Structures are given as C-alpha cells and as structure tokens.
Amino acid sequence: MANITQMLPTDMSAHGATGPADFSPLARALYPHRYAVAAAAAGASGVLVGYPFDLLKTRMQNLQAAAPGSRNLSAYAVAKGIYRAEGVPGLFRGMLPPLFVVGFLKSLAFQTYESLKMGMEEPYVRTFQPQPSDLAVFGARFEVPMPVIIAAGALSGAAIAALNSPLDTIKVNMQMARASVADSPSAGPAASATAAPAPAKPPRVSLFGTIRSIRERNGSYLALYRAAHIHIGRDFIGTGVYFATYELFRRMYLHSRLRLHQANTAAAEQGGPRGPVAPLTASELGAMAMVAGGLAGMASWTVMFPLDLVKSRLQSALLGAASGQNSPGARPGGNSFLACARATLAEGHGDYRVFYRGLGPTLFRAFPLHALNFIVYESVREWIEQRSGLTN
C-alpha cells in the first residue's frame, strides 16, 4: 500500500546534495540498521532531558506514605525539597538503568511494532474485507487499517514492558531511596525560616546496592518483577493509545493537505485563480511529526496514569521506601493491584483524583519530550541516509 506522502508534492531541496567526498564510513556501516540506531538515539536523549520530571512523578505518586502530611505538596515544592536535601544530582537519581537500556528497548520496540504492523495488515484485510471508510480517517485505501495500528502498538508495548519491568522496579526504588528526607513537609514552601536544618544525607544509593537490598529484603531476585503484570497492562493500553493518536493526527493533517491540493489543482485546470498548494517540505513533515508525537505522548500518559501510580507504589514498597516501615513490601492494603488501589483511594478520602497525583509534571514533560524524540529520530536517520550515499 502506498503512503499518503507519496501523493503529495514534496520539496526536499532544503537538504542539499551530498557529494562522494562527503560519504562517511560510519554512516555506511550504520545504514542497514538506521531505523534502530535512530530510535536508540531518540530514547537516550529522551531520558537525559525528561528524567527529572519522571523522578518528580514517582515522588508525588508516593507522597502520602513517604512523608505523612506532605501529600498536598506541589511539584515545585517537591522539586525544591529534593534540591535542598540532595542537590542537582538528586533530580537524576536512578537514571543509570534507563539511560543504558532505554535506547536498546526503544529500537526493539520500534522494530517490533513495524514487524507486527506489517504481519497483521494483510490477514486483517483478507479476513474482514473492510470498506475503504474503515481503513483510514477519510477512506483512503493506502493507509494501514487503524485496528492494526492499535493492535501492533499494544502488543509491542506489552512485549517491551515484560523486558523492562525489573529495570523499572530498580529505577523507582532508587528514586524513592531518599524520599523521607527530600519530600518532608519542612522542605516545602510553608517551612518557617527557623526550621531545623535538613538531616544528614543517608548513605549513597547505587544501582547494584539497590538490587542487593531488594533481594535481601524480599528473599529473591524475582521481587524485581513486582507489579510486572500492571506494567505490562499499562504499556499495552498506553502504547496502543499512543500510536492510535499519532496516526490519527498525522492522517488528518496529510489528508487535509491532500484534499486542498487536489481541489486547487482541479480549479487551476478549469482556469481558476488558485493553483496547486505549496510543496510539502521536509521541515513541514518534521513539524507535523513533532506535534503528533507530543499529542500522542500526552494522550497515552493521561489514559494509563492511574495504572502507573499503582505500579509505582507497589514497586517502591519492596524496600519500604514509600511506607517508611522496615518489613519488605509493607504497605496498608497488601501487595495486590486491587488492595493497593483501595488503599490509595482511602488516602484520597474517596476522591478518584488521587490516582492522578503527579500527572502535572508528566504532561509537562510529555509534549516536548516526545516531540524531541521525533527530532532526534529523524535527524539521525537522515544523517545516516545522506552520508552513506546508499539512498536512492
């Protein structure tokens, strides 16, 4: 099936020609893996830029148990408390696991999604024989059916979550390691000028130290898979919503451009005053991808955030970081999803908005972060293609 961008006029002259002298041996070596390399670079850059907001999200999700009386602190107050107790490095605590792994997982997720999409498209069309209007927003046959997009995204998200769950558990526990200090009410804006100085910093938190502690406190490394089923369910839903939102916005924009181009072209052929629309430039395609990616990130996090909150609370209880208790996994309500959800709702006095505690920093980072992902992805892929000299 042809892509819709092939039917639109494009202007790629802005990229400039590349002569033989500009070819790069590195780009040639990376060319067969250009999509995976670009996805890995996008994932790593996203971690570097967005990690402090992810840490704020985790701390705010566990505020009530981490420091009694602090549940109403704002994101700014929590960030100020972390900076006061731990300095700037505190905003990047636990970043090492995702930094080294998320690039690989991003590339694997992209390849899994593309493979599933290609593998499911033909059987879907052959089985359901959908009408053109079922295949895309405006009934174009050259777009992949939306149910295939959603299913491929959901399944790829669940598959990657199964691999990522232990690393996510380590990250959450490292993020919560000093929560009792950083998130205390005295760190908030209401603290008096005569408040007692912050307690001495606890011992340094390390990656392998956190892993050992989880095993010692819970008796097995299998504890790293705590809440893995919730993680898988979260990403099954969230990734499906992500790709559906991205494709919906992209198709609406491209179809609107295509219809305008066709209408103007027809008018010009009949002697009308308007001619074809201006060419669809690479920068315009990039801007469209950025906006679509940003909106998709915000939509997916909004939908899956309650699951993420329960997951985070169950994971952080492995070391008692969120509960302040010494028994492993200690948290009122037990360790099941429903028990933790009920306990969380009770903390919020029956207000379901408690499941969206920490959503603000998440959405604040979601749009620019996912937009950045597309900038880096397209830039790296384009550099490899141009400098390799292997693209037609």
**Mean pLDDT across 203-214:** 80
- pLDDT at 138 (0 to 100): 42
Contact 276, 265 (CB under 8 A): yes
Check residues 340 and 286 and name the one with the higher pLDDT.
340
How far apart CA 242 and CA 154 sit, in angstroms, is 9
Q: Of 50-59, 123-132, 226-235, give the lowest mean pLDDT range.
A: 123-132
Instruction: Decide: helix, strand or coil at residue 362.
Output: helix
Residue 354, token pair as written in the block: 């408690």
Report the chain's mean pLDDT, rounded to a whole number: 77
Of residues 233 and 46, more confidence is placed in 233
Mean pLDDT of 1-17: 50
Fold of 4-186+206-388: Mitochondrial carrier fold (1.50.40)
Is the distance from CB of 105 to CB of 164 less than 8 angstroms? yes
71 phi-psi bin (left φ>0, alpha ψ -120 to 50, beta other): alpha
> What percentage of residues in the chain have a pLDDT greater than 90?
21
Which of 262-271, 323-332, 342-351 is the least confident region? 323-332
Per-domain boundaries in the chain: 4-186+206-388
Backbone φ and ψ for 280, nearest 5 degrees, come out as -85, 105
Q: Is the pLDDT of residue 142 over 90?
A: no
Model confidence at 136, in pLDDT bands (50, 70, 90)?
Answer: very low
pLDDT at 139: 44
Q: Give the integer Cα–Cα distance in Å for 216 and 375.
A: 43
Residues 6+ apart with CB under 8 A from 13: none
CA distance readout (Å), 120 to 128, 162, 309: 12, 21, 32
d(CA 242, CA 373): 13
Q: Is the pLDDT score of 330 beyond 50?
A: no
pLDDT at 179: 61
Q: Are 369 and 297 in contact (CB under 8 A)?
A: yes
Percentage of the chain with pLDDT > 70? 73
Categorize the per-residue pLDDT at 178 as very low, low, confident or very high, splitting at 50, 70 and 90. Answer: low
User: Taking the model in full, what pTM does it have?
Assistant: 0.76
Say whether 10 sits in a helix, a strand or coil: strand
On the question of pLDDT at 299 being above 90, the answer is: yes
Q: Going by C-beta distance under 8 Å and a sequence separation of 6 or more, which residues neighbour residue 94?
A: 55, 170, 171, 172, 173, 174, 175, 177, 205
For the stretch 344-379, pLDDT in tens is: 899 888 899 889 988 888 898 888 888 888 788 878
Q: What is the pLDDT of residues 18-73, one digit of tens each?
A: 455 567 888 888 888 888 888 888 888 888 888 888 888 888 887 654 454 555 56
Which residues, including other chains, have CB under 8 Å from residue 216's CB and lie 6 or more apart? none
What does the block give as tokens for 213? Answer: 């502690």
Per-residue pLDDT, 193: 38
Alpha carbon distances (Å) from 222 to 130, 195, 331: 45, 42, 19
DSSP letter string over 245-306? HHHHHHHHHHHHHHHHHHHHHHHHHTT-S--PPPPEEHHHHHHHHHHHHHHHHHHHHHHHHH
Helix or strand run (H / E) with residue 11? strand 10-11
